[in-house]
Structure 1
Amino acid sequence: MAELQKRIGENGEEIVQNFLKRIGWKETLTNEDIESYDKEFRKNTNGIDGFSYYQNPFIDNCVVNVLISVKYSKNAYIKSNIISDFKSHSLDLSKAIESFTKSNLRKETSGSLKNINSHFNRGLIFWINADQENSLDLIPELDSIDFDTGIPHDGIFLVDNIRFDFVNKCFDILDSKFNDYEHFFIYFTNGLNNNNENPRTGKIMPVEFINSSIIPFVLKKGENSIVIIFCLENFEKESLIQIIGLAKNLSNGVSGSTIISFPDYSKTNHENEVLIVKRKINDFNFTENLSIINYNNYQRN
């Protein structure tokens, strides 16, 4: 049994490492031990499955430190245990973040960077499993829980099966259908990243995008460019209107086409709704170059 659990754990860590490389986190430290700050909680060290850091594209002169915890199983989620298990996972990771802020690891890595005014210390839990039939979305299950660890940190992000698969499907489409384009994430401007030195696009996926329901890319090939937005939620006419508004803002200054991709879009079932929405937008140059696709069944839709 112990050998089986060890093998399952190693498989999970390998799956997550491949995922992290795919989203641009190529130099993630793994299996680090951080001296425990709260000796009553953990006597010696806090073990973490991964650690990465990057310059925050949404805030000038800011670095994001991300401590990673992998909770991988061969079995499906147990719905009745989701809240209690998540609280346990979050408490462990929160304590690791608390210890990290006082650690040599922080001083030797992100703490040594120059011209940095602030740090975000965040956690990322990969709570995934090998069950192929499980479609339980953990985020709504945890949406209303009241849980405060009392430990200061800048947020813990959760990746479940649904979001893990969503991100991979985005890259599958990019690699198979747009493999002659170079792809970049689009970093929103928000009033806090006005520094001209801050990139507006990049190869590193911000942690905010990892469990987001919308992921924006720009694809580039020579002088040609495509803005493509992937949506986790199914096609709805109302949501299409909102996403088109976002797409228009993101494509400002980008001369090329725009693609919005849903998991269930069907030209047969939805084309008329798309045409109605396009007619409501008083921008023919934009709508003429706007396409809607399905990232699950690209060929049949």
Structure 2
Amino acid sequence: MGEWSKKIGEKGEEIVDYFFKEILGYNSVLAGESIKCIKGEKHKVSKSDKTTHGIDGLISAKSPLEDNILDIGVISSKFTSKEYPNSPKSKFKEHIVDLAHTLECFKFSKLYAETNKKYTQIDRTNITGILVWTSNGSPETESIIPKVSNSLLDNDLIFEKIIVIDNDRINFYVETVLNAKEKFGENNVQFIYHNTNLNNSSLPTNSYGKFLPINYIFSNLIPLRIENGNNIDLVLFSKDNFDIENFSQLLAFAKNFDHLDSTQRVIISYPEFNELIDTPGISSVLSDFNHYKLNKNLFVRTHLSNFKNLS
């Protein structure tokens, strides 16, 4: 984990490369690409027409959640050594506009066509913009999302979807996925792909794998399959703190994973969990889930760490 600590003080592009490869499991992150701008006057910077758009990172994979779908992520890295702005809406809008303009031209680019040609049996391609806005000067748990969630964007921006990754979101993955890979070995940790009713053909042979689908990146729940010695564990990492309603929902969620090749234990991990205070509530919920026995085939834990000091 010391390697991640080093990345925080380096370029945003290197953070992106490490995050998507080492943590999220993508084999490659195409970086430093440039595409032609086909909307030069609309996308102009200052008084000059735009001629090109830079792409900080590009990921692609056939979706394990929907048959015959290609997912492409166009990544914009906005790293600052300073703190996040106290009032970040203006800068946030600037970043979103820049990425949205890139996405608008990307659909007509040679890079888009070349990426599609690498895959077979594709009926549709989904393009997602991914804004990675990280700050070395702000706490590792700092989130800009609440401060920009009600930002007003221009109606003429054209894009399918943009997700935002900030310090807090990356730290969640470090506390969970990176910790698991460090502890159990990268080859023993795999992401779980649930039944969406749109992946009926692929799910029987592709119910878990090495990469996290783009559609999961902003989820507050990360399901992992971990080979732990003689056990195969289903681990559910929650970004939300423990409460009884959430716990009951996660147990019901866990019951749906009957395709994981002999899962022996379920582990539910929260950022905050107090065994002394919260265990009585767990016992009451388990009366509706007779299959689970606390501390035998069901374990509830907490995950703690951060993405700046992991050496």
Class of the TM-score when normalised by the shorter of the 2 chains: 0.7 to 0.9
CA contact 1:180–1:221 (8 Å) conserved in 2: no
Instruction: Work out the CA distance in 1 between the residues paired with 2:259 and 2:165.
Output: 31
Identity %: 29
Aligned residue for 2:223, secondary structure, equals strand
Query: What is the match of residue 47 of structure 2?
Result: none
Task: Select which of 134, 140, 148 maps to 2:146.
Answer: 140
How many residues are treated as equivalent by the alignment? Answer: 290
Query: What is the match of residue 5 of structure 1?
Result: none
CA contact 1:251–1:258 (8 Å) conserved in 2: no
Instruction: Work out the CA distance in 1 between the residues paired with 2:51 and 2:187.
Output: 48
Task: Select which of 175, 179, 188 maps to 1:182.
Answer: 188
- Structure with the bigger percentage of helix: 1
CA pair 251-289 structure 1, distance change in 2 beyond 3 A: farther
CA deviations on 1:164-201 (whole Å, 9 max, x unpaired) are 00011112431344338711111111111111376211
CA pair 93-118 structure 1, distance change in 2 beyond 3 A: same
Query: What is the match of residue 21 of structure 1?
Result: 21
Give 5+ residue unaligned stretches, structure 2: 1-7, 45-49, 306-311
CA deviations on 1:19-66 (whole Å, 9 max, x unpaired) are 111111231111111000111114210011111111011111010111
- In the TM superposition, 1:212-291 aligns within 5 A as 212-220=219-227, 224-251=231-258, 254-284=262-292, 288-291=296-299
Task: Select which of 49, 59, 74 maps to 2:81.
Answer: 74
Instruction: Work out the CA distance in 1 between the residues paired with 2:36 and 2:183.
Output: 46
Alignment RMSD = 2.6
User: What is the letter of the counterpart of residue 216 of structure 1?
Assistant: P
Q: Could you tell me how far 1:280 is from its partner in structure 2?
A: 3.3
Q: TM-score, normalised by structure 2?
A: 0.84
CA pair 109-196 structure 1, distance change in 2 beyond 3 A: closer
Q: TM-score, normalised by structure 1?
A: 0.87
Q: Could you tell me how far 1:251 is from its partner in structure 2?
A: 4.4
Query: What is the match of residue 3 of structure 1?
Result: none
CA contact 1:278–1:287 (8 Å) conserved in 2: no
Instruction: Work out the CA distance in 2 between the residues paired with 1:226 and 1:27.
Output: 28
Aligned residue for 1:38, secondary structure, equals coil
Aligned residue for 1:119, secondary structure, equals strand
Q: Which stretch has the larger CA shift, 48-57 or 168-177?
A: 168-177
CA deviations on 1:135-180 (whole Å, 9 max, x unpaired) are 4422333333443553443211111111100011112431344338
Query: What is the match of residue 56 of structure 2?
Result: 49
- In the TM superposition, 1:58-69 aligns within 5 A as 58-69=65-76
Query: What is the match of residue 124 of structure 1?
Result: 130
Work out which structure has the larger RCO, using CA pairs closer than 8 Å and 6 or more positions apart in sequence. Answer: 2
Instruction: Work out the CA distance in 2 between the residues paired with 1:147 and 1:105.
Output: 27
CA deviations on 1:74-104 (whole Å, 9 max, x unpaired) are 1222232x22222221111111111111111
CA pair 107-208 structure 1, distance change in 2 beyond 3 A: same
Give 5+ residue unaligned stretches, structure 1: 1-7
Query: What is the match of residue 308 of structure 2?
Result: none
Q: Which stretch has the larger CA shift, 247-256 or 61-70?
A: 247-256
| 1:150 counterpart = 2:151 | no
Q: Which stretch has the larger CA shift, 248-257 or 187-196?
A: 248-257
Task: Select which of 90, 94, 102 maps to 1:88.
Answer: 94
Query: What is the match of residue 106 of structure 1?
Result: 112
Q: Which stretch has the larger CA shift, 36-45 or 133-142?
A: 133-142
Q: Which stretch has the larger CA shift, 235-244 or 247-256?
A: 247-256
